Structure 1
Amino acid sequence: MPSTTPRPINVLLIGGCGHWAATENHVPAILTLQRQGFPVRVSAICDPRDPYDENLLRHMPDLLDLLRYDRPQWIRPRPGERAEDLERRLDAIHALHPFDVVIVACDPVAHYPYLHWATRRAIHVLCDKPILAVADSAWDVHAAAAIDTHFDTLLKAHLDHPGHLFALPMRRRANDAFVDSSSLITEVYEKHGQPLTMGNFTVTGGHFRLPEEYGFGNAHGYTHGVGALAFSSYHYIDLMAWYLSLAQGPVTAVRVTNHYVRRVGDYLDTGQNRPLEALLRPVPPEPQATAGLDRRTALAEMDFAFTLELLDDARRAHGYLTYTFTSNSYSHRHVGLQEADRAGHLPFREKGRMSQFVIDIHQGPLQHVRVSKNDVVGDRYRIRLEHRRNPLIDPSGGRYADTVYENAHSASMVTPQTMTAEFLRAAAGCPPDELVARRMTHLADQTLTQRIYAAMYQLIAARHQADTARRTAPAPSLLLDIPHETRTPTRRTPA
């Protein structure tokens, strides 16, 4: 039975100087808890950037407040440091100031050593998406295969410690608009046994980057040989897995096929930056000449298209999902912060990134659900949810329903900040907030999402291998069995 008196919680914050951790989510959530008298302290921040750097703190007032209150130790990762050496350093600090919680919010390619260290020691973990990214997975088949291996290792270590918490603040699974859409899908499935038959996920995360900016590092850069699939794409892959699990019917496997990849090098080499001259001409400072990007950056994925065939035990098809992501699209951008980015005084920020998507979900002839958005990142967040039901099953005659969620992220009943706070409360033994707890995602819940995500990287890498060998081959595909823990029983129409 959880205690009503919280235990003091000591936090190791990995990636605490990033915009997401320091400005939007983890640090503000911790400050709010502290002001409420909750006994939480950040005793160490691990980040390549110095959290006490005045140039950084000018843009991060919440981080400045945390530093004043907690005076955390700065742990600086060493370039090329071996995992065992990093573990020895973490163990030494852990022995002096035992950590109750590790929050992982650094560059995704750096997640695994921290997750592996903390989970094996039964330290509770809150990890931002994606759980794992392995450098060079966009072109190296061995690196891509390691994503699955690392996940299996983490899951086993987590399950070996009963009571261990390992959660992810998945914003879209918690957001009111997506929760409401999931309820529509569940209702039709439970009443009428109608599984998903088709889904189109079209995401246009447009951005406008100068050629030199592809060489900048920090979170979600391209310098580690992974790109857009390891960024916001994970959210939409997770939505595909989630919606499918809600109305799965006879589907027990998915065949994932890659139809298209466009890489950073493709974009720069084909002169696609020339039309940007009309945008760059009036904007000082003048951009530098195209930087000589290294091979791994040039091979990172920008745009891609996948399909998922929904198959039963006899490998008969029952439906079809598509996922298309395009970076090279409309952007809304002011330039001029390159020097601050280059010096590491700002995290690599939005650069005119857009948040545009259309998600169409069909449950046979019974229901159509659409979720859509078209905004500049960092501007207003307006999500539209539309749906229709067949008039034969809808007492209202199948009328069209349209709901708009203004400020959809911040106005949601559950936000990433409330999930961070709930996780820390759970680690302290407090009674759960049932609403927040229901919308929290845990490591085991991510098994299907992670399998699909890893398969997509394996297929992107396989495509590069075939292109390098100049082989003409059909679109690469992989068959994945749906893990048993994510399957729902087949619903039957009531007599």
Structure 2
Amino acid sequence: MPSTTPHPINILLIGGCGHWAATENHIPAILTLQRQGSPVRVGAICDLRDPYDENLLRHMPDLLDLLRWDRPQWIQPRPGEPVEDLERRLDAAHARRPFDVAIVACDPVAHHPYLHWATSRGIHVLCDKPIVAVPDAAWDVHAAATIDTQFDTLLKAHLDRPGHLFALPMRRRANDAFVDSSRLIANVYKNHQQPLTMGNFTVTGGHFRLPEEYALGNAHGYTNGVGALAFSSYHYIDLMAWYLRLAQGPVTALRITNHYVRRVGDYLSTGQNQTLEALLRPRSQAPALPADLDRRTALAEMDFAFTLELLDDARRVHGYLTYTFTSNSYSHRQVGLLDADRAGHLPFREKGRMSQFVIDIHQGPLQHVRVSKNDVVGDRYRIRLEHRRNPLIDPSGGRHADALYENAHSASKVTPQAMTAEFLRAAAGCTPDQSVARRMTHLAGQTLTQRIYAAMYRLIAARHEADTAAHRTAMPSVLVDIPR
């Protein structure tokens, strides 16, 4: 039974040297728990980079504090190391002092081996998005097909262990602006049974890179043959799944169609990077380098557009969702490539990345909800929520309602750090804080999101196969059943 007295927790932190884990979320949350007296300890950090590297610690004071207090073992994955060998080394560390929790915050293409290892041993898992990313899924149809397979394997292993915790700190599912928008949708559905009929998700990442920077790795890199769909997009795919389930009505399946893909190689071949690059090069702190992008990097997806038709059991169309992502639009970038980036001594800096989106949701003739944002990543985070209701169901006469969320992430009632801390408290057997727990996302609850995400990769890979075939084939679609 849960209690207020936690039992000791030993953590395996995978990807602990990244900016998200070491600066923004996991390590700060762990340090806060330790200062509050919770018996939480990081026993090992598994990362390609040495957490004790002074060049790295110069920029990560929270990681430095953790190292001083916990002195975790460094487990370094070896390039090309077979999964079985890595598992043996993890097992050896687990045998010396068993891990209670694995926090997985490494490059998403490396998630699955760690997730499967921890889950099969009954170790509780907190995993950053996306759950599964498969190298070369943007162009290899066989690789894309394994996304569903790997997720199903994880889900079965998790469900086979009653009491096993497997959660994701999905920032947007916890953010006040998106929670409030979800309540508007759920309220109209509850009172009037009006399902979702249309949704437009338009996202513009605005992340300008110099050509040679596409050859850099890190969690938002393209060198593994996957790009923006696996990283920035997963949040918005999850929002689509969440909003749809809140007002699903008779819809039981989705017909997903890909209408457009632009890959890294396509973008660079058009020369569209040259205008801002010409302004940026004189300010750069390092000389230009040859791009020399390999094939898998050039084929990674940058921009794309999908439609999702909402179907009932008779395959009648009740509405549609659209998702459009553009990764290079307006950018305020004014700095160049630093040697520290090449050496891996810095977290991946934003380099002028913008965060721009407009999400329009319609529930037939009864309600329109809009969520929008347009600002610099790492600066002010302002989200605007607007909605109108038909005057027949709204005593205000249908007047426009508007809310503005300043510093929307840090000022939210529940932050990613709060979710990490709550997960660790739950793993320690404490009584859950319901204000945080109800905004947590768990593995089984990500099934629809994963199905949509995997289908989109299958379509992106199929488009490449069609583009390289002797005869262009018809635009394919994928049918996804909504889990009951």
- The TM-score, its normalising length taken from structure 1, stands at 0.97
Which residue in the other structure is 1:452 paired with? 452
C-alpha RMSD of the superposition: 0.9
User: Which amino acid in the other structure matches residue 108 of structure 1?
Assistant: P
Other-structure match for 1:270? 270
* 1:479 corresponding residue in structure 2: 479
Cα deviations by residue, 1:20-69 (Å, 9 ceiling, x for unpaired): 00000000000000000000000100000000001000110000000000
Indicate whether 1:62 and 2:42 are aligned: no
How far does the alpha carbon of each residue in 1:98-146 deviate from its partner, in whole angstroms, 9 at most, with x for none?
Answer: 0000000000000000000000011000000000100000000011000
Q: Is the aligned partner of 1:380 residue 2:357?
A: no
**Is this contact kept in 2: 1:207–1:332, CA < 8 A?**
no
Asked whether the equivalents of residues 56 and 345 of structure 1 are also in contact (C-alpha less than 8 Å), the reply is yes
CA distance in 1, matches of 2:50, 2:75: 9
Q: Distance in 2 between matches of 1:477 and 1:114?
A: 32
Q: Deviations over 1:190-228 (max 9, x none)?
A: 000000000000000011100000000111210000000
Tell me the equivalent position of 2:346. 346
- State the SS of the aligned residue for 2:10: strand
Equivalent in the alignment of 1:7: 7
Structure 1 unaligned runs (5+)?
Answer: 485-495
Does 1:105 pair with 2:105? yes
Cα distance, 1:280 vs structure 2: 1.7
* Distance in 2 separating the partners of 1:350 and 1:117: 32
Q: 1:214, 1:221 within 8 Å by CA — same for their partners in 2?
A: yes
Maintained 8 Å contact 1:219/1:347: no
Letter in 2 for 1:41: R
Q: Name the CA distance, whole Å, in 2 between partners of 1:88 and 1:200.
A: 47
| 1:144 match | 144
Which deviates further from its counterpart, 175-184 or 1-10? 1-10
* In structure 2, distance between residues paired with 1:373 and 1:17: 29
Using the alignment, how far apart are the partners of 1:301 and 1:290 within structure 2? 21
Amino acid of the structure 2 residue aligned with 1:25:
N
Cα distance in 2, alignment partners of residues 297 and 336 from structure 1: 21
Residue equivalent to 2:178: 178
Q: Distance in 2 between matches of 1:171 and 1:421?
A: 14
Deviation per residue, 1:326-383 (Å, 9 max, x gap):
0121112132343111101012221211110000000000000000000110001000
- Answer yes or no: is the 8 Å Cα contact 2:223–2:296 preserved in 1: yes
Decide whether aligned partners of structure 1 residues 286 and 48 sit closer, same or farther in structure 2, where only a CA change above 3 A counts: closer
Q: TM-score, normalised by structure 2?
A: 0.99
Once the two structures are overlaid, the 10-residue window that deviates more, 414-423 or 279-288, is: 279-288
- 2:249 aligned with 1:249: yes
**Matches of 1:410 and 1:292 in 2, distance apart?**
39
Distance 1:284 1:291 in 2: 16
Q: Distance in 2 between matches of 1:278 and 1:87?
A: 47
Instruction: For 2:330, give the aligned amino acid.
Output: Y
**How far, CA to CA, are the matches of 1:476 and 1:356 in structure 2?**
29
Corresponding residue for residue 92 of structure 1? 92
CA distance in 2, matches of 1:285, 1:65: 31
Encode CA deviations 1:147-188: one digit per residue, 9 max, x unaligned.
000000000000000000000000000000000000000000
Q: Partner of 1:491 in structure 2? A: none
**How far is the alpha carbon of 1:451 from its aligned partner?**
0.2
Letter of the 1:444 partner, please give it.
Answer: A
Give the number of aligned pairs: 484
1:29 and 2:35 aligned: no
**In structure 2, what is the equivalent of residue 393 of structure 1?**
393
Question: Secondary structure of the equivalent of 1:145?
Answer: helix
Deviates further, 146-155 or 338-347: 338-347
Q: Which letter maps to 2:57?
A: L
The one-letter amino acid paired with 1:389 is: R
Between the aligned partners of 2:475 and 2:221, the Cα distance in structure 1 is: 27
Partner residue of 1:296?
296
* d(CA) in 1 for partners of 2:274, 2:131: 36
Question: Any stretches of 5+ residues in structure 2 without a counterpart?
Answer: none
Q: Answer whether contact 1:217 1:348 (CA < 8 A) is retained.
A: no
1-structure distance, mates of 2:339, 2:347: 12
Counterpart-to-counterpart distance in 1, 2:336 and 2:478: 43
In the TM superposition, residue 286 of structure 1 has moved relative to its aligned partner by 5.8
Instruction: Please give the per-residue CA displacement for 1:423-476, whole angstroms capped at 9, x wherever unaligned.
Output: 000000000000100000000000000000000000000000011114323322
1:156-171 to structure 2, matched below 5 A, reads 156-171=156-171
User: Do 1:28 and 1:417's aligned partners in 2 also have CA atoms closer than 8 Å?
Assistant: yes
AA paired with 2:414?
V
What percent identity do the matched residue pairs reach? Answer: 86
Conservation of the 8 A alpha-carbon contact between 1:261 and 1:305: yes
Alignment match, 1:461: 461
Instruction: Determine if contact 1:210/1:287 at 8 Å carries over to the other structure.
Output: no
Per-residue Cα deviation, 1:203-258 (whole angstroms, up to 9, x for no partner): 00011100000000111210000000011100000000000000000000000100
Q: Tell me which residue corresponds to 2:429.
A: 429
Q: Counterparts in 2 of 1:182-331, with a 5 A limit?
A: 182-285=182-285, 287-331=287-331
Work out whether residues 10 and 41 of structure 1, in 8 Å CA contact, stay in contact via their aligned partners in 2: yes
